[in-house]
Amino acid sequence: MDYKTLFAKTPPTKLFLFAAIPGSIGMLASALYQLIDGIYVGQILGDNAFAALNLAMPLVIVNFSLADLIGVGSSVPISVKLGEKDEKEANNIFTCACILIVATGFVLGGILFVAAPSWIRMMGADETLAKPAVEYLRVYALCSPVTTIIFAVDNYLRICGKIKSSMILNMVMSVLSGILEFLFLFWFRWGIWGAALATCTGMFVCVLLAFYPFFRGTLQLHFCKPKFNVRMIRQIVAFGSPNFLNNIAARITSILMNMILLRVGGASAVSVYGILMYVDGFIQPLLYGMCDSLQPAIGYNWGAGDYGRVNAIKRRCFVASAILSIISSGVIFFFPREITGLFIDTADHQFLEMSISALLLFSMSYVTRWFSFAAQSFFSAIEKPMQASLISVATALIFPLLWIGILWPMGLNGLWLNLPCTSLLAGILAMILLKKTKSPQREVKESRE
């Protein structure tokens, strides 16, 4: 099915099922690999290697976040231009974005490689942790030019209507990386750098597979002679900023939360917070994959001026996000003991009680969190980066810091309630912004009146 038929002709419900299910499965496959990566390193290489991995990971994520900024930021104007029938400009944005990602990979990879020892030691690592952390980070730095683009090509495949291909790509990358990591660590007995090399090799192979049809010219988007301009670059940065800011702000919040938890509840509290983040790491990719996979269809119809179809797709995205979130909330609420048992030995009664209490409070997050999540994705798709960025930064940084101060007298329970309260405020903010958002059609009608 070509992208025009898929985005413009397919009934909204069928389009949603065709796009959202593969998108969610693909993102979940990627999330599962991150969990397996941590298990492999911890179980095969030991506690020091696991600590070093977690020490280096924020810098790895920042490296990929810049590529994600360009990938997501270019996807929105590409979809809109295709909806406006301006295929020439869509291909130009696609080509320029790919060049920018590779160039950024060279520059940032070089900076990471040179500065890795200094940055790791600035985090307070001693030589035992610093050496493996630097090894791990430097492999990602060297491979950066040929791996970071994997997060962009995923979006480009969906724009071309190859949604199942995007899902399969994520699954292949996870399976291949997992197999290679097991071989490198368990069979070859390589160090932590082998874990990074396994992931980078899996990514590079999938980059080659993903770009093959683009180079052959069999997809809607294809490479052309690039024509860079300031307006296009500003667009890419603006539309990609919500995701980028969310990643950076969330990292800052996690660091602050861990520091406070360590002071209030000790290492056990930090471990419980880790369980909450792992649970969130399963649910959030499902929401993100579902909403993100519909962005090209919403952007295409927004560019084509079919605002009725835009709203129809939006409604299905919001309803499905609500259903998924409420089910997730119920599972967490009714099975906190079983969830805790996945991560720690439930024989530790005190730890178990703390974890169950935290999960019960944490489960309330998803009653309202779905609304701001879906709204942020919708704003990104219709060229409203300011609204999307506001929701993103407020949810990841501003509201959590606000609630830390307000709920401080409640101790640990106040910290476990942080995300539920943040989700409530974010939902209210998203509702206000949605009510103020007007389609071009409505703006013209109101100006005439």
pLDDT for 417: 92
Q: Are residues 87 and 219 in the same domain?
A: yes
- Tell me the Cα Rg of the chain: 22
Q: According to the per-residue pLDDT averaged within each range, which of 74-78, 119-123, 368-372 is highest?
A: 368-372
φ and ψ of 191, to 5 deg: -80, -165
The letter for the amino acid at 285 is: P
HSE at residue 22, side-chain half, CA atoms within 13 A, is 21
% pLDDT > 90, the chain: 24
Of 122-136, 186-200, 228-242, 259-273, the range with the highest mean pLDDT is 186-200
| Residue where one domain finishes, among candidates 175, 197, 228 | 228
Q: Are residues 251 and 164 in the same domain?
A: no
Alpha helices per DSSP H over 305-393: 307-334, 336-341, 349-362, 365-381, 385-393
pLDDT at 447 over 50: no
pLDDT band at 411 (very low <50, low <70, confident <90, very high): confident
Q: Residues near 254 by Cβ (< 8 Å), separated by ≥ 6?
A: 277
* 234 inside domain: no
pLDDT at 444: 35
Long-range contacts of 322-327 (CB under 8 A, 24+ apart): 322/370, 322/371, 324/283, 324/286, 324/287, 324/290, 324/370, 325/283, 325/287, 325/366, 325/367, 325/369, 325/370, 326/366, 326/367, 326/370
Task: Answer yes or no: is 14 within a domain.
Answer: no
C-alpha span between 104 and 70 (Å, rounded): 10
Residues 211, 273 within the same domain = no
On whether both 280 and 173 belong to a single domain, the answer is no
Helix (H, G, I), strand (E, B) or coil at 250: helix
Q: Is residue 38 part of a domain?
A: yes
Does one domain contain both 259 and 193?
Answer: no
268 and 142 share one domain:
no
Q: With a cut of 90, say whether residue 34 has pLDDT above it.
A: no
> Which of 33-37, 308-312, 326-330, 411-415 is predicted least confidently?
33-37
- Do residue 338 and residue 370 come from a single domain? yes
Q: Are 254 and 280 in contact (CB under 8 A)?
A: no
From CA 369, how far away is CA 361, in angstroms rounded? Answer: 14
Question: Which of 63-77, 231-245, 283-297 is predicted least confidently?
Answer: 283-297
Per the structure block, which two tokens stand in for 43? Answer: 């179980």
Q: Are residues 169 and 208 in the same domain?
A: yes
Buried b vs exposed e over 109-135: b needs ≥16 C-beta within 10 Å? beebbeebbebbeeeebeeebbbbbbb
Comparing CA positions, the residue from 236, 235, 243, 322 lying closest to residue 287 is 322
Contacts of 124 (CB under 8 A, 6+ apart): none
Q: Can you tell me the distance from the alpha carbon of 174 to that of 182, in angstroms, rounded to the nearest whole number?
A: 12
Q: Which helix (H) or strand (E) holds 298?
A: helix 230-304
> Higher-confidence residue: 325 or 294?
325
Q: Are residues 328 and 210 in the same domain?
A: no
What was the pLDDT predicted at 371?
92
**Among 2, 167, 18, 166, residue whose Cα is nearest residue 82:** 2
Query: CA-CA distances (angstroms) from residue 375 to 296, 389, 433?
Result: 15, 11, 9
* DSSP per-residue codes, 25-66: HHHHHHHHHHHHHHHHIIIII-HHHHHHHHHHHHHHHHHHHH
The 10s digit of each residue's pLDDT in 362-381 is 999 989 988 998 898 888 88
- Range scoring the smallest mean pLDDT among 66-75, 264-273, 281-290, 407-416: 264-273
Tokens 């020490």 belong to residue: 55
The per-residue pLDDT for range 130-141, each reduced to its tens digit, is 888 899 999 999
Q: 153 is in which domain, residue-wise?
A: 1-9+19-228
- pLDDT tens-digit series, residues 281-308: 778 877 877 777 777 788 788 887 888 8
Q: What is the pLDDT of residue 255?
A: 66
Q: What mean pLDDT is predicted for residues 245-273?
A: 74
pLDDT at residue number 448:
37
* Residue 84 in domain: yes
Mean pLDDT is lowest, of 69-73, 198-202, 242-246, for 242-246
Q: Contact, 266 vs 136, CB < 8 A?
A: no
The answer, yes or no, to whether residue 8 has pLDDT greater than 80, is no
Q: Kindly report the average pLDDT of the chain as a whole number.
A: 82
- pLDDT score of 197 more than 90: yes
- In degrees to the nearest 10, what's the CA dihedral of 192, 193, 199, 205? -150
- Nearest 10 degrees: CA dihedral of 142, 140, 285, 94? -10
Number of domains in the chain: 2
| 1 confidence band (pLDDT: 50, 70, 90) | low
Residue at 39 is within a domain? yes
**Does any domain span residue 235?**
no
Q: Are residues 161 and 68 in the same domain?
A: yes
- Using the predicted structure, report yes or no on whether residue 18 has a pLDDT greater than 80: no
Do 56 and 149 have their domain in common? yes
- Asked if residue 248 and residue 183 are part of one domain, the reply reads no
How high is the pLDDT of residue 92? 93
- pTM here is 0.70
* Mean pLDDT across 149-166: 83
Q: Which of 146, 204, 211, 199 is nearest to 174 (CA)?
A: 199
DSSP string, 134-202: HHHHHHHHHHHHHHTTHHHHHHHHHHTT-HHHHHHHHHHHHHHHHHHHHIIIIIS---HHHHHHHHHHH
Residue 54 has pLDDT above 80, yes or no: no
